[in-house]
Structure formats: C-alpha cells, structure tokens
Structure 1
Amino acid sequence: MTFRLPTLAALLLLAGCATAPSSAPPPPAAAASAPAPKADTPADDNLNAVAWTQTAIEHDLIYLQTYRDAQARLLAALKDPSWDALAKDDRMAPAKGLKPAVVLDIDETALDNSPYQARLVRSGGEYNEANWAAWCKEEKARALPGAVAFAQFAARHGIAVIYVSNRAKDLNGPTLANLRKAGFPVSGPDAFLGLDTFVEGCEQVGTEKGCRRQLISRRYRVLMQFGDQLGDFVTVLANNAEGRERALAPYRDWIGTRWFVLPNPTYGGWEPALFNNDWSAPRGERRRQKIEALRVD
C-alpha cells in the first residue's frame, strides 16, 4: 500500500531527517525522570535474561504450557502402577505400593526470584549468600504461572507435593511461609527437603539433590519431577558439556512425560560449565570464557 503525503508534511518530514533517523521512536515522556545509568557501571551479562524473564509474555506462556501439559498427563501416570519418574540410581526401594508424589524444585520452578536478579543488575553486583538470604527472608517471591494450579490439582487427587530446595537451613521457615503465601499446598515440614536434610547412609556432595531423591524413593512413587536445572532430576558427576549430556542420555525420552524442565537463562549449572566451574576467576575472565564458548557457525 502506498501513502501520498501533502507537500508541506513531506517537507517537514524531510527536515526532521536531518537531525534524527526517521525510524527512531520519540523518547517516552517518563524517560526524563528516569535516573541516568552510572558511568562506571559495567555492562551486565544478565540484563537481557532478567528483562526477558520479567517482561516477555513468552516466558509466562512456557510455564503455563508446561504445567498444563503435566496436569493433563498426571492422572494417567497415577493409574499406571509401573510409572516412576526417579532415575535408576535414585530408586532405593520398590515403587510398587508406595504413596504417589510429584517433586518440585522451588527457585525458578515454583517461585519467581527475578526481582532479586533485577536488583543485582541495577546495582552491578553479583550473587552472595547475604543478599540472597535477605531476599528470601522478605517472603515476597511470586508463584510462577501454572505452578500453583498444578500443585493444587495434584494435592486434590491424593498426590503428595514434595518441594526440594538448595536454600540454606536458616531459610527453611521463610521458604515454607513464602510457598504458603503464594498458594502452594504444603502438607507439613516433611513436604520440604532443604539443603540441610540428613539422609542416613548417603553422603551429599555439595548441593547435589541425589540423597534427597533417594530419601523420597523410600516413601513415594514419584510420578513427575519439575526443575530448571539438570541437577533437579539426576546427579551430574561432571559439570561440563560432556558430563551433562552423559547424565541426561538414559532419560532423554522422559522429557515432557516424567521430567518437566523450565527455562532459566539467569543462572544455573550451565553457566559455570562454560568456565570450568571456577567461580574464583575474575568476572571479566569468566565473561571471556563464556564468549569463547559461543558458536558462530
């Protein structure tokens, strides 16, 4: 379609082009009152990831799609006595006859901690235990789309909802309170397995969740697992590209049926895998290695 401008309007438009590209939108009125960025604040690699997480409707739709699809499959899994979503190494007792359960990670699976990440982007800081604990104790994290509806559906059908988290022991109380405020069914303390959970006969390595999954296996037949990290589903012995693929390989067919993976571009095991898991390296060096890991063809 072709539009014809009156001569005067056309001349005005051409005059404007001398000072600004015609494709550049005018600055919003609110921009004048927005604080100017600090000149000494370096570019933050997490800016786009956090902005997408908080503002992209596609982010919310992925969560809704995932939890709705899982809910549609849940009752069929419940009726199948052979159905189990625990990896072979995590199943310590026969699943037959055990109470059914679903297992949810908390951060970026059930609860949205993007405001914490946004604070880091704005301040130019990085994660540390103190500022993370302060955020958790605010008990303000919102439920991610679809998560509460799924958990409530499971609970109504007699399926235990078990939350497994790597939050530190002193955050157990605030975490349970936050879950309840957000509307998640929490049957009691046994429904929450934090980082401090002791599992007799199993030595936890770092923040790996394998021992806690083994504990769950003694009590429940697990119908589904949900998480934003590979380690939420299976133990990753070597956190590099090859080790992560090796851990997943036997269970790839479970994705979307027994295991449901949520997106997290802001943090996770995928990131340190790019710089040999060396968090002691300077921020600039870690960034350099991440750039080197990018494929350009």
Structure 2
Amino acid sequence: MTPLRTLSLSALVLALAACQTAPSRAPAETPAPEPAPVAAGPAANDNMNAVAWVQTAEEYSLLTVQTFLAASKELDRAINTPGWDALVPSERANPPDGLPPAVIVDIDETVLDNSPYQARLVRDGGSYNEVTWDAWVREEEARPVPGALEFAKAAAERGVTLFYVSNRAAHLNDATVANLKAVGFPIQSDDQFLGLGFFVEGCEQHGSEKGCRRQHVGRTHRVLMQFGDQIGDMVSIDANTPAGRKRALQPYLAWFGERWFVLPNPTYGSWEPALFNNAWELPEAERRQRKLDALHYAE
C-alpha cells in the first residue's frame, strides 16, 4: 500500500471515529427526601376540650356559682310563697300546701364534680364503663361543684331538706352518701339519697327516669326547687330526640332560673345520644359522623 493511500485510509478511520457518539448516560437520580418524623403526642379525644374547660376555665366555675347564687336569692321567696312547687303536675300526687320544704338535687356534675374520672378516660384513651366508674365512686374523692355546698348549707339553715336523686346504682349508695357527707353536704338521714332502683309504691318506673322518685319526695314535702345538669333531672322525656327534649321542657320554660336550675356539663349527657338516635351500638366513627351531621354550618 502506498504511503498516500495509507494516509488517506488513516484519515478516513479517524473521521469515522469522530462521527460516532459516545453512549448517553442517564443523569443520576436525586434521592427522595426522608419524610419528616411524626411528633409523638396524645391521641385525639372528642372529650378533651370539654374536660379541660370544666377543670381549668374560670368561666365554668363562674357559671356554676352564678347558678347557685341566683337560686339562693329565690330561696326565701320560695319558702314564703304558698303554693310554690317545683314538681310538674303529673308528678304531684297530693297537694303541697302545709308540707315541709325540700329541694331536689341531682348528684353527678350538679353537686359533685366527677371531672377527674373523665380526665382519666381522656388520658388513658378509654370510655365510660361500669368497672372504672364504680372504682372512682368507691374512692369517695369527688369534690363539690363550685357554689353547690354553699347553697346546700344555706337551704339547710332555713329548714329545707335536700334530697339527692341520682342514677348511681344501688350498690354505690354507701360510698355516695359517705362522699357527700365527707365534703360537707347536709344529710341527716340516708333516706335523703334516692338512687337507681329505689322502689316507689304505686308509681310505674320507666327505665332510669326519675319521675317516681320525685313523686316520692313530693308525697311528704313541698319541692321548692330542682337542680340538675340534664333536662331529665326535672321532667321526664318521652322521646330522647332533639325535638322530644324541647317538647318536654317547653311548658316549663318560665320555671328555669326560678324553680329549676341547670348546671353546665359538656362532657356527657342525654343530649349526646339524642344526636344518633340513642344507638350506642353503632361504631364510634358512625356516631361521630351523625354528630357531625347534626351541626349547623356557616354558609
């Protein structure tokens, strides 16, 4: 091969090599950032704000004290007004005239504060059950609702007998009375406590309704006032629905703040199951959804 031909061939080889493209390389992928760690903390609980409000908000104690102060101002007028009676006609089995005066109070969240029990449930992620409730009651550690003890003592000093009408079970009677006495509530006789299961002759009991027990008090006393954190503490509710609850109290609206006094309780009550047709057997998520559906929203 001649030098010229060799040179030309070499140039051709170099030209062809220059025309070849180097194999492409995929750019290196940037690794995805690690997800931010989830901060550890207490589990969500529907009742936390309610319990915190009862235990820490000045507004709560102001409301309860305000309620009992308002009742105290009506007490002398109630005592001295013939015919003054706080029982609905269907629960008044006999005329009240001439009978000694009495006041009916509910216990839980009306005169005794059980928010420490509710706080335990929030802390432990639990819900109400008879075992934990019984254990709490037997501790006899519930404190008076602000203002309740002062009113009770003022009523007793005026010769008014307090009757404690509660839906606590019968086996908790002794612990309940002991707790009331320990914090200073006036109880001259254990007969002043009427718990769940108390039999009233001649009166048909419906579930846990308190109507028969109120009637029992009215047979021997003129009931000046009633106190409770539930509508059912003053009058029987035929249907525990929002409409049924309104219907029960409608005829007696003028009695509130005069003969009937309501204590604030956002932690539990018959108002809650009324929102899901009293169907506690529903899963918690379904009950929560029905409560959400019952809310009114801004447009």
Partner of 1:243: 244
The residue type paired with residue 62 of structure 1 is L
CA shift, 1:163, in A, is 0.5
- The yes-or-no answer on 1:210 pairing with 2:211 is yes
- SS of 1:251's equivalent? helix
CA shift, 1:201, in A, is 1.6
TM-score normalised per structure 2: 0.85
CA shift, 1:184, in A, is 0.5
Provide the C-alpha distance between the structure 1 equivalents of 2:198 and 2:267, rounded to a whole number of angstroms.
26
Unaligned ranges ≥5, structure 1: 1-35
Provide the C-alpha distance between the structure 2 equivalents of 1:266 and 1:197, rounded to a whole number of angstroms.
26
- The yes-or-no answer on 1:229 pairing with 2:230 is yes
- The yes-or-no answer on 1:219 pairing with 2:220 is yes
Provide the C-alpha distance between the structure 2 equivalents of 1:37 and 1:132, rounded to a whole number of angstroms.
26
- SS of 2:202's equivalent? coil
Give 1:181-200 correspondences, 5 Å limit. 181-200=182-201
Partner of 2:41: 37
Partner of 1:23: none
The residue type paired with residue 41 of structure 2 is P
CA shift, 1:89, in A, is 1.1
CA displacement, residues 194-243 of structure 1 (integer Å, 9 cap, x when unaligned): 00210012221111001101111101100000000000000001000111
- SS of 2:86's equivalent? coil
Provide the C-alpha distance between the structure 1 equivalents of 2:47 and 2:89, rounded to a whole number of angstroms.
36
Partner of 2:293: 292
User: Percent identity of the aligned residues?
Assistant: 59
- The yes-or-no answer on 1:62 pairing with 2:66 is no
- SS of 2:249's equivalent? helix
Provide the C-alpha distance between the structure 1 equivalents of 2:89 and 2:219, rounded to a whole number of angstroms.
13
CA shift, 1:116, in A, is 0.5
Provide the C-alpha distance between the structure 1 equivalents of 2:121 and 2:88, rounded to a whole number of angstroms.
35
196-205 or 266-275, larger mean C-alpha shift? 196-205
The residue type paired with residue 208 of structure 1 is E
Give 1:48-127 correspondences, 5 Å limit. 48-127=49-128
The residue type paired with residue 37 of structure 1 is G
- SS of 1:45's equivalent? coil
Provide the C-alpha distance between the structure 2 equivalents of 1:169 and 1:287, rounded to a whole number of angstroms.
32
Partner of 2:130: 129
Provide the C-alpha distance between the structure 2 equivalents of 1:87 and 1:126, rounded to a whole number of angstroms.
35
- SS of 2:251's equivalent? helix
Provide the C-alpha distance between the structure 2 equivalents of 1:282 and 1:135, rounded to a whole number of angstroms.
26
CA displacement, residues 105-157 of structure 1 (integer Å, 9 cap, x when unaligned): 00000000000001111111110111111100000000011101100111111
Provide the C-alpha distance between the structure 1 equivalents of 2:183 and 2:64, rounded to a whole number of angstroms.
16
Provide the C-alpha distance between the structure 1 equivalents of 2:128 and 2:175, rounded to a whole number of angstroms.
19
CA shift, 1:37, in A, is 2.8
Provide the C-alpha distance between the structure 2 equivalents of 1:230 and 1:92, rounded to a whole number of angstroms.
21
Partner of 1:11: none
CA shift, 1:88, in A, is 1.3
Give 1:152-171 correspondences, 5 Å limit. 152-171=153-172
- SS of 2:77's equivalent? helix
Partner of 2:147: 146
The residue type paired with residue 259 of structure 1 is W
- SS of 1:161's equivalent? strand
Provide the C-alpha distance between the structure 2 equivalents of 1:88 and 1:252, rounded to a whole number of angstroms.
15
Unaligned ranges ≥5, structure 2: 1-39
Number of paired residues? 260
- SS of 1:132's equivalent? helix
Provide the C-alpha distance between the structure 2 equivalents of 1:161 and 1:199, rounded to a whole number of angstroms.
18
CA shift, 1:282, in A, is 1.0
Provide the C-alpha distance between the structure 2 equivalents of 1:77 and 1:211, rounded to a whole number of angstroms.
23
Provide the C-alpha distance between the structure 2 equivalents of 1:242 and 1:289, rounded to a whole number of angstroms.
16
CA RMSD in angstroms comes to 1.1
Provide the C-alpha distance between the structure 1 equivalents of 2:134 and 2:283, rounded to a whole number of angstroms.
23
The residue type paired with residue 75 of structure 1 is D
Provide the C-alpha distance between the structure 1 equivalents of 2:189 and 2:282, rounded to a whole number of angstroms.
41
